[in-house]
Amino acid sequence: MTFKITAAALALATALPTMTFAQTDNAQYAASIGVNADNYTLSELVELDKALRDNDREKANLVLSEAGSEMTYEQLQAGMTANGMTMSDIEAPEMEAAEVETYSGGKEQIAAVIGVDAEDFTLNELVGLKAAVDTGDEDAAQAILDRAGVEGTAASLM
């Protein structure tokens, strides 16, 4: 009986911080795209980011509309955010050392799933790389590896 309670407590203690970090990662990823993280799941953010990078107006507007956003592809491409500011108007908050260490946990998890070193990539690069691997887009994966200065081929990740 004690073992079952301890195992459940351990599972809960492990899951709670992970859920919090995922929300932080989503918020940062959403902010880099220019949308509010509260309206999107991680997969919707990845889908929207890919649509914006591919200049796929139709797909981007579909994701935005399904999330209930009044933003449009054109506004996001122009650098507008959900509150009407441009990305250059936004100052990034300074993070305490403890927050930076905590934040890297999300990067570590994504990198482990893909099979790469988290230190070689930004969070956005890891999310993009994960999306490229998941969709079998070898060209996009190779472009991310090249941009990050990582030697190796995308084929080894597929």
Same domain? For 41 and 106 the reply is: no
Angle at CA 88, nearest 5°, toward 87 and 89?
A: 90
What is the pLDDT, as a whole number, of residue 24? Answer: 57
What is the pLDDT, as a whole number, of residue 58? Answer: 93
Same domain? For 76 and 127 the reply is: no
Same domain? For 20 and 87 the reply is: yes
Same domain? For 126 and 73 the reply is: no
Mean pLDDT for all residues in the chain: 74
- Say how many C-beta atoms besides its own lie within 10 A of residue 100's C-beta: 10
Angle at CA 82, nearest 5°, toward 18 and 135?
A: 55
Poorest-confidence range of 8-22, 40-54, 107-121?
8-22
pLDDT digits (tens, 9 = 90+) for 36-57: 888 888 888 888 888 888 889 9
Cα separation, 34 vs 79, in Å, equals 7
| Contact status, residue 18 vs residue 105, Cβ threshold 8 Å | yes
122 Cβ partners below 8 Å, 6+ apart?
Answer: 148
What angle separates helix 123-135 from helix 42-53, to the nearest 10 degrees?
90
pLDDT digits (tens, 9 = 90+) for 134-145: 888 888 889 889
Same domain? For 22 and 70 the reply is: yes
pLDDT digits (tens, 9 = 90+) for 72-109: 888 777 765 454 554 455 455 555 554 444 444 678 88
Q: In sequence order, what are the beta bridge partners of 86?
A: 80
Same domain? For 43 and 74 the reply is: yes
The pLDDT of residue 15 is above 50: no
Question: How many structural domains comprise the chain?
Answer: 2
Same domain? For 89 and 106 the reply is: no
* Token pair recorded at residue 71: 């933003």
Final residue before a domain boundary, out of 76, 93, 110: 93
Same domain? For 106 and 145 the reply is: yes
- State if pTM tops 0.95: no
Final residue before a domain boundary, out of 68, 93, 118: 93
Same domain? For 7 and 59 the reply is: yes
Same domain? For 1 and 72 the reply is: yes
Same domain? For 45 and 100 the reply is: no
What angle separates helix 138-148 from helix 123-135, to the nearest 10 degrees?
160
Which range of residues forms the domain containing residue 109? 94-158
